[in-house]
């Protein structure tokens, strides 16, 4: 995995099409924010980050 992979996305950076990367909740919250719904500020840690952590922790 390249070292410059992005592991954290602010909600406003994501969308529903990124569900494989952000997970269902992260993509859903991002999409809600994009639609103009009230969503508290936040971020999502990607599934790639989880996989890398699991690989390095094994």
The tokens describing 55, both together, are: 């690989």
Provide the residue ranges of all domains of the chain, joining segments of one domain with +: 8-57
Q: How far is CA 2 from CA 7, 9, 11, 30, 53, in A?
A: 11, 17, 23, 25, 14
Q: From first to last of its 58 residues, what are the pLDDT tens digits of the chain?
A: 567 889 999 999 999 999 999 999 999 999 999 999 999 999 999 999 999 999 998 7
Question: Whole-model pTM?
Answer: 0.82
Query: What is the structure's pLDDT at 49?
Result: 94
């Amino acid at each position: 995995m390249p070292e410059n992979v992005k592991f954290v996305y602010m909600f406003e950076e994501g969308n529903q099409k990124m569900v494989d990367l952000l997970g269902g909740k992260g993509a859903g919250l991002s999409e809600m924010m994009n639609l103009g719904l009230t969503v508290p500020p936040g971020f999502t840690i990607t599934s790639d980050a989880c996989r890398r952590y699991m690989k390095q922790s094994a």
